[in-house]
Amino acid sequence: MCTTLHPNELKRLQDAFKRLDRNGDGTITAREFQIACRQFNPSISEMEIRKLVGQMDIDGNGLIDFDEFCLGMATHSRAKQAENKAQAQPQRSSGNGPAAAKKKPGLSEKQMKDAFQFFDKDRSGDISPSEMRQVMTTLGIACSDIEFKAMISSIDDNGDGQINFEEFSTLLNSFF
């Protein structure tokens, strides 16, 4: 996923990752991430740090590898850009008020494809229910087996038991 970044951005992320990876093993532990977060924001809570680690640790192994780091940083960067853009734009008096400023930024087609490829671990072109369950667990989304099956059914428009790119895009757009 990171290979699709502009070379300058890739270099910046590689440098940041190396600084965070204190022991040089190619992954960032929750502890390494916590130390870095506290350096940049001393008031960040333990809960916020755990949430950030959970969001970045896509495969749920307790470590953040470089691809996960890139995806997490890209998501954070997009959110900050959208927030800054919303703050920079004057509020219109069209009656929409503050709700209009909270419009979700959305993801580009490329970002959708990158995310899909990241979740499609076996590169089959579809996300299996087990791959989807792994993603949900990593993101801290808990649900019963019945709820999970209902969710898959609601996403799986063609009824094949798999999540294809279009179905995945619809799901992601509901979050971003």
Domains, the chain, with CATH or none:
1-91 (1.10.238.10), 106-176 (1.10.238.10)
**Residue 60 and residue 134 in contact, taking contact as beta carbons nearer than 8 Å:** yes
pLDDT digits (tens, 9 = 90+) for 61-101: 888 888 888 777 766 665 555 565 666 655 444 445 444 44
**Residue 14 and residue 73 in contact, taking contact as beta carbons nearer than 8 Å:** no
Regions of the chain short of the pLDDT cut 70: 1-5, 74-106, 139, 174-176
Say whether pTM exceeds 0.75: no
**The pLDDT of residue 115:** 83
| Backbone φ/ψ region at 68: left (φ over 0), alpha (ψ -120 to 50), beta | alpha
**The pLDDT of residue 38:** 76
Residues with Cβ within 8 Å of residue 120, at least 6 apart in sequence: 126, 127, 131
DSSP state of 57: -
**The pLDDT of residue 164:** 92
Phi, psi for residue 78 in degrees, rounded to 5? -60, -45
**The pLDDT of residue 165:** 92
